[in-house]
Amino acid sequence: MRILMVCLGNICRSPIAEGVLKHKAAESELDWTIDSAGTESYHIGEEPHKFSQKICRQNGINISGQKAMQFSKADFAHYDKIYAMAKDVFTEIKRIGGPDADMSKVDYFLNERIAGSNESVPDPWYGSEDGYIAVYQMIDETCDAIIKRYK
Ligand code: 4NP
C-alpha cells in the first residue's frame, strides 16, 4: 500500500495524518509507504506547523523531520490511495490530475471513519492551538479505521 495524505499547505493537517498513520502501521508491522503533500506551493520545504508538531509529540510521535511538498499529477501513478483532507483539496486534486486521472484512487480521508459522508477535516491554520488538538483526535480515529480496514 502506498498512501498519500493531501491538504492545502502540507504543514498542518496532512503532516499529522502522515505521522499518525506511519506510527500505527509500524505498530501493526505493516510495510506501507505513507507520505503527505499540499495542493498549494506556499510552504514547500517547511517543517510542520509548531502546533501540529506539539500535539504529535504529546502523543509520542515525532514529525519534525517532515518537509512540505506540493501535490503533482505524477502522484496518481505513484500512490494506490490518495486521501483529501477536505472538499477544496479534493477539487484541487481533481483539477491537477486532469481528465485522464484515475479518481478512483482518491477519497475524502474522513470517509474511512464514516463512509460516504464527504466531510472535511477543519483547517486549523487561522485558529488557536485547540483546533490542532481537535484535528488530531479526528485524524487519530480515522487512522485507526484505515488500519482496521486494510491490514
Ligand atoms: P494545511 O493548513 O492545509 O492543513 O497545511 C494550511 C496551511 C497554510 C495555509 C492554509 C492552510 N495557507 O494559506 O498558508
Q: Is 95 helix (H, G, I), strand (E, B) or coil?
A: helix
pLDDT of residue 123: 97
pLDDT at residue number 93:
98
pLDDT score, position 97: 98
What does the pLDDT read at residue 105?
A: 98
CA of 126 to the centre of ligand 1 (A): 8
Q: Which CATH architecture has domain 2-150?
A: 3-Layer(aba) Sandwich (3.40)
Residue 49: CB partners within 8 Å, gap ≥ 6? 11, 12, 15, 124, 125, 132
CB atoms within 10 A of CB 44: 15
Annotated catalytic residue 7: yes
Nearest alpha carbon, ligand 1 atom 7: 9
Q: Ligand 1 atom 3: the closest Cα is on which residue?
A: 8
Identify the pLDDT of residue 11. Answer: 98
The list of the chain residues with pLDDT below 70 reads none
* Nearest CA owner, ligand 1 atom 12: 9
Which residue of 7, 53, 63, 120 sits with most ligand 1 atoms within 8 Å of its CB, as the best mutation to test the pocket?
A: 7
The pLDDT of residue 67? 98
- pTM (whole model) above 0.95: yes
**What does the DSSP 8-state code read for residue 141?**
H
Q: What is the pLDDT of residue 28?
A: 97
Active site annotation includes 95: no
Active site residue 140: no
How many other CB atoms are there within 10 angstroms of residue 102's CB atom? 10
Gap from CA of 142 to ligand 1 centroid (Å): 20
